[in-house]
Structure 1
Amino acid sequence: MQTLLHTAASRGHANHGWLNSYHTFSFAGYQNPERVHFGVLRVLNDDTVAGGMGFGTHPHDNMEIISIPLSGTLEHKDSAGNHGIIRSGDVQVMSAGTGIAHSEKNHSATEPVKFLQIWVFPNKRNVTPRYDQQTFRAEDRHNQFQQILSPNPDDAGVWIHQDAWFHLADFDAGFSAEYQVKKPGNGVYVFVLDGQALVAGQPVGPRDGLGVWDTAGFRVEATAATRLLLLEVPMSL
């Protein structure tokens, strides 16, 4: 088993006033040659957008883009005619494929929205762009791994063009569970949303990230009430 710890304080940071963003991997003005990606996981941005503000229309291609609101409400519009409102408990996915332009803004004029923006390199290029979103029940991740994303349209959660599985988990203090890697050779990037835990024996706290690979599974033990996001991805680009 190999592990790699990224502490919350070691992330890149940009505060534009309307946008306060923390970058786990190189992004925009934050460029760190040792922090470009974890396998096919390319971007993990922890964003807060002020009321009434947002990202104007901009293009993407050949990237799987996942948005997970943590609080507040996010509004999505794209060049394919999709228009969605996503809230805490929702997960949004956009396969950019051959190319799509979209905007994301805070749906509230007054309250901030906090969300994770995640980019994953696809395993198929130039696919037809697609958009989807689903709502997930909080009780289904209490002391268990709740699958929110997979490679299979018939499986639980949204799906993307990659052999990746994402899970959320809300663990009570003292609860522990074994995460089993879904596909041999994949790694898992564990991002702590709140709380304190031991992941593969490594202590982690709020907004820390721990990459784990070269293993079939590992134990997660909450040392306080803890919310986690687990991103299982192929390690080879």
Structure 2
Amino acid sequence: MKTVFHAAGERGYNDIGWLKANFSFSFGPFRDEKRTNFGALRVLNDDFIARDNGFGSHPHDNMEITTIVLQGALEHQDSMGNKGIIKAGDVQVMSAGTGVFHSEYNPSKTEDTLSLQIWIFPKVRNIEPRYDQKNFGDKFIQNRFTTLISPLKSDETLWLNQDTTFSQGNFDAGQQLNYAIKTPGNGAYVFVLEGDVNIAGHTLNKRDAIGVYDTDSFAIETNSESKLLIIEVPML
């Protein structure tokens, strides 16, 4: 088993007023040659977006983009003709493929938004752009992982153009968990949304992360009530 540990306080940071962004990997003004990606995982941005503000229309291509809203809501609009609200509990996926423009805006006059934007390198380049969205608010069962994104197309999960699995769960203190790699050869990037846990000899607190690879499974011990996101990706 091999690991790479990313402390929350070592992430890149940019504050432009309406947007306060933490970068797990090199992005925008944050450049670190040792933190460009974890396998196919290229971007994990932890964003605060102020009320009545957001990102204007901008282009992407050949990237698999996932947005997870943790608090508040975002209004999405894109060049494929999609328009709607992504709210807490929703997960949105978009294959940029041959190219797409989109905007993301916090439409609330009273509530700020907390969201994660995650980019993954595609399995196949230059596909037709696609969009999907699903609410998982009522799918979570305490002390179990819920699959958000799977490489197997299903009505129960979302799908990306990559052999990736996203799992999220809420756990009580004192849980002894075992995460089994779903796709042989993949690595898993564990991002602590809340709480603190022990993984592979490391203690992780809120917004810390650890990449685990060259293994079929690994153990997780929760020291407090914890919320975890695991992004499993090919190691390239």
The two structures have a TM-score, normalised by structure 2, of 0.98
Moved over 2 A (4+): 137-141
Question: Cα deviation per residue 1:124-153 (whole Å; 9 max; x = unaligned)?
Answer: 111110110001135624101100001222
Q: Distance in 2 between matches of 1:102 and 1:139?
A: 28
Match of 2:126 in 1: 126
Q: Distance in 2 between matches of 1:154 and 1:234?
A: 20
Q: Which runs of 5+ in 2 are unaligned?
A: none
The count of residues paired between Structure 1 and Structure 2 equals: 236
Match of 1:191 in 2: 191
Tell me how far 1:169 sits from its aligned partner: 1.0
Say whether 1:79 aligns with 2:79.
yes
Q: Distance in 2 between matches of 1:230 and 1:212?
A: 10
Match of 1:9 in 2: 9
Query: 5 Å matches for 1:39-188?
Result: 39-138=39-138, 140-154=140-154, 156-188=156-188
Report if aligned partners of 1:77, 1:83 keep a CA contact under 8 Å in 2. yes
Q: Distance in 1 between matches of 2:206 and 2:133?
A: 26
Q: Secondary structure of 2:140's partner?
A: helix
Match of 2:32 in 1: 32
Which AA in structure 2 matches 1:204?
L
Report if aligned partners of 2:140, 2:170 keep a CA contact under 8 Å in 1. no
The two structures have a TM-score, normalised by structure 1, of 0.97
Q: Distance in 2 between matches of 1:156 and 1:25?
A: 30
- Percent identity over paired residues: 51
Which AA in structure 2 matches 1:74?
L
Q: Which runs of 5+ in 1 are unaligned?
A: none
RMSD between superposed Cα atoms in Å: 1.0
Q: Distance in 1 between matches of 2:193 and 2:76?
A: 23
Which AA in structure 1 matches 2:82?
N
Query: Structure 2 vs 1, CA of residues 131 and 11 (structure 1 numbering), >3 Å: closer, same or farther?
Result: same
